[in-house]
A and B are shown apart, each in its own frame.
Chain A
Amino acid sequence: DAGITQSPRYKITETGRQVTLMCHQTWSHSYMFWYRQDLGHGLRLIYYSAAADITDKGEVPDGYVVSRSKTENFPLTLESATRSQTSVYFCASSPEETQYFGPGTRLLVL
């Protein structure tokens, strides 16, 4: 009965390192999304996926990479972390319009 989970929940890394944030959902929802949430900006879409092997850019995709080899997983990779990527990252999944969010990952880039 996990629904949608994210790991790690907290991460501290250094500038230039590669970081992967994991997202896993048990509902078999077709759509999955990655957002970042920062003060003053609200939730901004990074990448989304309509199905396995189908991904598309959102509003702020630069510096991020995603993949979706299986319906249930949608990892987000920061190829070379920068301080501006310090944020709270939320994954969401959706069967159609309503989106259900994971608990978030708080990332600090030093």
Chain B
Amino acid sequence: RKEVEQDPGPFNVPEGATVAFNCTYSNSASQSFFWYRQDCRKEPKLLMSVYSSGNEDGRFTAQLNRVSQYISLLIRDSKLSDSATYLCVVGSYNTDKLIFGTGTRLQVFP
């Protein structure tokens, strides 16, 4: 079983739609959680950190469920520019390493 699992998609949604991605992780000792965005043939870039209480950044909302060990990302009012691959990332306590999921691809169409 992979340490971080994501549905690869693609999720094809129209502009203005709301879309949600989930991610599960296997290590209950995981302490830090992130969503990264990766555009085609580019480097991953931090989208947002994920906190236990949930957090929002504009149209993006991230949630963490430690009991079920999953992380979610909700994108409201999708824009064409949101088309990318979204990577779920998990770090364990007291380690310097992050584990990356294989990503969920989002395609927003006009």
Contact = CB atoms under 8 A, between A and B. Distances in A.
Q: Which of A33, A40, A42, A94 is most buried by chain B, counting CB atoms within 10 A of its CB?
A: A42
B43 A103 contact: yes
Interface residues of A, number: 21
Interface residues of B, number: 17
A31 B34 CA distance: 18
Which 5 pairs between the two chains have the least Cβ-Cβ distance? A42-B102, A101-B43, A43-B100, A42-B100, A97-B32
Main secondary structure of the interface of A (DSSP, over half): strand
A39 B78 CA distance: 26
A61 interface: no
A22 B46 CA distance: 22
A102 B87 contact: no
A98 interface: yes
Interface of A: 31, 33, 35, 40-43, 45, 48, 50, 58, 90, 94, 97-104
A97 B46 contact: no
B44 A101 contact: yes
Contacts of B1: none
B76 to A, nearest CB: 24
B53 to A, nearest CB: 17
Nearest to B103: A42
B46 A100 contact: yes
